Amino acid sequence: MSTNVDKIYEEALRLSDDAKVVLAERIVEYLATHVSPDLQRLHLDTVKRRRDEMRTGQVDPVDGQDASTLARRVVNK
């Protein structure tokens, strides 16, 4: 990470919790509206492929909560 990013990060940590939330929301909003068309296409292709895999029975859908629980267990090992 560049020193400028490190400095900005350290300054952000000194903000109040409310200000951190506002900053995070603004950054997420920016990122959501500035996605490259290539990345959007790649994501859409992946979603369609996964949908087709579920429709044809190649994979079974997994409940989101169950997947999160399992992921936490794996990461915390």
* Total-model pTM: 0.51
For 21-36, how does the pLDDT look when each residue is reduced to its tens digit (9 = 90+)? 999 999 999 998 998 9
For residues 42 and 65, state if they share a domain.
Answer: yes
Q: Are 12 and 20 in contact (CB under 8 A)?
A: yes
pLDDT band at 1 (very low <50, low <70, confident <90, very high): low
Instruction: With a cut of 90, say whether residue 42 has pLDDT above it.
Output: yes
The number of folded domains in the chain is 2
Residue 38 has pLDDT above 90, yes or no: yes
Residues 41, 14 share a domain: no
Q: Is a pLDDT exceeding 70 seen at residue 40? A: yes
What CA–CA distance (Å, rounded) separates 51 from 45? 10
Does 50 lie in the same domain as 21?
A: no
